[in-house]
């Protein structure tokens, strides 16, 4: 007996605000979307305890709970959500041939890529322990929780400088931890840092360890141990927030050499759209957005991708 290869009008790769929103719109357009949830179902927000800047949640919401809400909404309209990852995509002909990690092979008339990006961390075991309990990779997401407190930002580029100056408006003091004796940030961003009185730059320092209180599932960061890479001296700083700003890696490896990308791997889309260089393939959310990286903007591009996929399919049938 020959297995019939599934043929879908719309296949969504990845979840999170972009993927789920794309699924909601695609399902309501009767495209019967199939979504593979990916390596981190729900995306980066599943590592965030409290989301307070997404419209419609006046009291805030837990990140994983919000993603579960979006998943249920997508499924309510008929989205077929599946655990697993897409491991191969043949874009040489349409419909595209797609393989999942369980070996299943499918055909898809359109693809919506919503694989997101992964924040780069230092790789410390203590850093992993205090994620969601003081350690963050997004100042605009979590800075509000540290009003009036002392925090640290690690990094020396534009992102670190931007996060430090953003936090300086909210917190008591910002320590900017820089492993070199200069910033890589642009001169304009450097000037902002140096002209902000409650930012103290700690040159030639690396992070050795984070420490705090751990009671059951509740973890509260209390400080960081630094090491001067010139003198080898240790320094302990009391902080309640530790923001890692050493960049993000877009999860775009599956399409390397196939889709147009910038030098850091973000998928390039036609300005004002989610269309890629291959007709029928659309990219939304953090895999193509290195500027805003917010849940609400990701959701917006997810909506755009579904609408564009619907219009693309309609144009093929004309």
Q: pLDDT tens across 248-302, in order?
A: 899 999 999 999 999 999 999 999 999 999 999 999 999 999 888 889 999 999 9
CB 219 within 8 A of CB 129: yes
Q: Residue 221 and residue 210: Cα distance in Å, rounded?
A: 7
Does the annotation mark 238 as catalytic?
A: no
Q: Catalytic residue among 62, 80, 102, 138, which?
A: 138
**Alpha helix segments (H runs only) across 99-157:** 125-129, 139-142
Q: Look at the block and give the residue holding tokens 């874009």.
A: 91
Amino acid 268: pLDDT? 98
Is 6-118+248-317's fold the same as 121-244's?
yes
Catalytic residue among 10, 109, 141, 284: 141
Superfamily of domain 6-118+248-317: FAD/NAD(P)-binding domain (3.50.50.60)
Question: What pLDDT sits at residue 206?
Answer: 96
Q: Where are the alpha helices (DSSP H) in the chain?
A: 16-28, 63-76, 125-129, 139-142, 158-168, 187-194, 295-317
pLDDT (0 to 100) of residue 1: 42
Q: Which of the following is catalytic: 142, 150, 286, 289?
A: 142
**pTM of the shown model:** 0.79
Q: Domain residue spans in the chain?
A: 6-118+248-317, 121-244
141 is catalytic: yes
Residue 54 to residues 6, 51, 135, Cα–Cα distance (Å)? 36, 7, 20
Choices 3.40.50.970, 3.30.930.10, 3.50.50.60, 3.60.15.10: CATH for 121-244 = 3.50.50.60
Whether 223 and 212 have beta carbons less than 8 Å apart is answered as yes
CA–CA dist 264, 278 (Å, integer): 20
Confidence (pLDDT) at 48? 64
- Indicate the DSSP class of residue 241: E
- Tell me, what's the pLDDT at 293? 84
Tokens of 40: 């981190």
Predicted pLDDT of residue 52: 80
Mean pLDDT, each 10-residue run in order, the chain (318 residues) = 81 96 98 92 73 88 90 97 96 96 96 93 93 89 93 93 94 97 92 97 97 89 96 96 92 96 96 98 96 92 98 90
142 noted as active-site residue = yes
């Amino acid at each position: 007996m020959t297995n019939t290869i599934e043929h879908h009008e719309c296949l969504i790769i990845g979840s999170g605000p972009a993927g789920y929103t794309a699924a909601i719109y695609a399902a309501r357009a009767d495209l019967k979307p199939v979504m593979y949830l990916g390596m981190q179902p729900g995306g980066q927000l599943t590592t965030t305890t409290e989301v307070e800047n997404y419209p419609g949640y006046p009291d805030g919401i837990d990140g994983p709970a919000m993603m579960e809400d979006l998943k249920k909404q997508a499924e309510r309209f008929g989205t077929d959500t599946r655990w697993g990852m897409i491991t191969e995509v043949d874009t040489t002909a349409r419909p595209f041939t797609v393989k999942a990690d369980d070996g299943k092979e499918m055909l898809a008339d359109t693809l919506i890529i919503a694989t997101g990006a992964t924040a780069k961390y230092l790789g410390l075991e203590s850093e992993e322990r205090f994620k969601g309990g003081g350690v963050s990779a997004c100042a605009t997401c979590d800075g509000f929780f540290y009003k009036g407190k002392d925090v640290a930002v690690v990094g020396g580029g534009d992102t670190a400088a931007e996060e430090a100056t953003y936090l300086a408006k909210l917190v008591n003091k910002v320590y900017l931890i820089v492993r070199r004796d200069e910033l890589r940030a642009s001169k304009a961003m450097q000037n902002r840092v140096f002209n902000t009185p409650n930012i103290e730059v700690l040159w030639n320092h690396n992070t050795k360890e984070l420490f705090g209180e751990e009671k059951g599932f509740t973890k509260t960061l209390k400080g960081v141990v630094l090491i001067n890479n010139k003198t080898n001296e240790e320094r302990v700083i009391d902080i309640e927030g530790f923001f890692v700003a050493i960049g993000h890696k877009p999860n775009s490896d599956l399409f390397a050499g196939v889709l147009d990308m910038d030098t850091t791997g973000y998928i390039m889309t036609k300005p004002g759209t989610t269309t890629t260089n291959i007709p029928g393939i659309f990219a939304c959310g953090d895999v193509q957005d290195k500027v805003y990286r917010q849940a609400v903007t990701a959701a917006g591009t997810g909506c755009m991708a579904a609408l564009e996929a619907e219009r693309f399919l309609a144009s093929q049938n004309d």
